[in-house]
Structure 1
Amino acid sequence: MTEAQALIYLAGALVIGLGAVGAAIGVGILGGKFLEGGARQPELIPMLRTQFFVVMGLVDAVPMIGVGIGMYILFATGA
């Protein structure tokens, strides 16, 4: 394995791993704010729940895109 191939594998792993870590932190913060908002105004929980799941889906899309880019880096560059 050459040094260039090793760097390509490292780049792909970083794209996939850091995207997942960032999304996990984002969903954790989002869930905490959801619970905080529900505790402050319980009558808004149905509306907050809908918005929570929509935004959580958007946040979870980031690691999926990162996996796609990481796979492209790993396999399309001929590593």
Structure 2
Amino acid sequence: MSDMTLFTVLSTLGALLAIAIGVMFPAIAMGRAISQALDALARQPEAEKAITRTLFIGLAMIESLAIYVLVIVLLVLFRNPLLQYLLPK
């Protein structure tokens, strides 16, 4: 196996691992946030607007983490900055 093939395979496996971990933790955080919001709504139904607004802002922040991971993984896959060191000059 050539150096380029090995590098491509390792980059792809690293990207798959990064996207798996980078999406798993925000998903867990979103589940916990929704669970806590439902618990708060059950305790104080009169505070529904404030809880819902805060929940959606928090969910947007959590989701942005997963989007940042996706962008970085796509950069590594399609425009790998380390690839220039393997290409012949």
Q: State the TM-score, normalized to the length of structure 2.
A: 0.81
TM-score (norm 1): 0.90
Per-residue CA deviations over 1:40-71 (Å, capped at 9, x if unaligned) read: 11111110000000000000001110010000
The alignment of Structure 1 onto Structure 2 pairs a total of residues equal to 78
Match of 2:61 in 1: 58
Q: What is the root-mean-square deviation of aligned Cα atoms in Å? A: 1.3
Runs of 4+ aligned residues of structure 1 deviating over 6 Å after TM superposition are none
Measure, in 2, the Cα distance between the counterparts of 1:15 and 1:61. Answer: 15
Bigger CA radius of gyration = 2
Letter in 2 for 1:33: Q
Q: Percent identity?
A: 26
Structure 1 spans left out of the alignment, 5+ residues:
none
